[in-house]
Amino acid sequence: MNLIFLISAFRLFCLCGVIISLFLLIKPGRAINIQIKFYEKINWRMQPVSMPKEIRNTKIMGLCLITVTLIAIVYMAALWM
């Protein structure tokens, strides 16, 4: 029973990772705006110095996140076989 819970939690975690990474890859400007609005709510002002660099870095972060998530999926699938 405990193993089934762990497998389900891992699948949910990987699904969240894939969804977030695809969002970062497809809509990096929107992700940056969400971050800016969050920081304004906690009374911080945040503006990127260079928006093109920020968008490029956000896409790279999304690519790295999806790569790590896929590696984790393959690794865990190999362990459970």
Q: Which domain holds residue 42?
A: 28-81
CB crowding 16-39: b at 16 or more within 10 Å, else e: ebeebbebbbeebeebbeeeeeee
- Examine residue 16 and state whether it is found in any structural domain, yes or no: no
- Examine residue 14 and state whether it is found in any structural domain, yes or no: no
- Examine residue 55 and state whether it is found in any structural domain, yes or no: yes
Q: Which residues contact 6 (CB under 8 A, 6 or more apart)?
A: none
- Which pLDDT does position 3 carry in this prediction? 81
Q: State pTM to two decimals.
A: 0.82
Hey, CA dihedral for 15, 16, 22, 27, is it positive or negative? positive
- Examine residue 6 and state whether it is found in any structural domain, yes or no: no
Angle of helix 28-41 relative to helix 51-80, nearest 10 degrees, comes to 100
Here the contacts of 2-5 (C-beta below 8 Å, separation 24 or greater) are none
- Which pLDDT does position 68 carry in this prediction? 94
- Examine residue 20 and state whether it is found in any structural domain, yes or no: no
Enumerate the H helices of the chain as residue ranges.
2-26, 28-41, 51-80
Give the model confidence (pLDDT) of 23-74 as tens digits.
999 999 999 999 999 999 999 988 889 999 999 999 999 999 999 999 999 9
Query: What is the total count of domains within the chain?
Result: 1
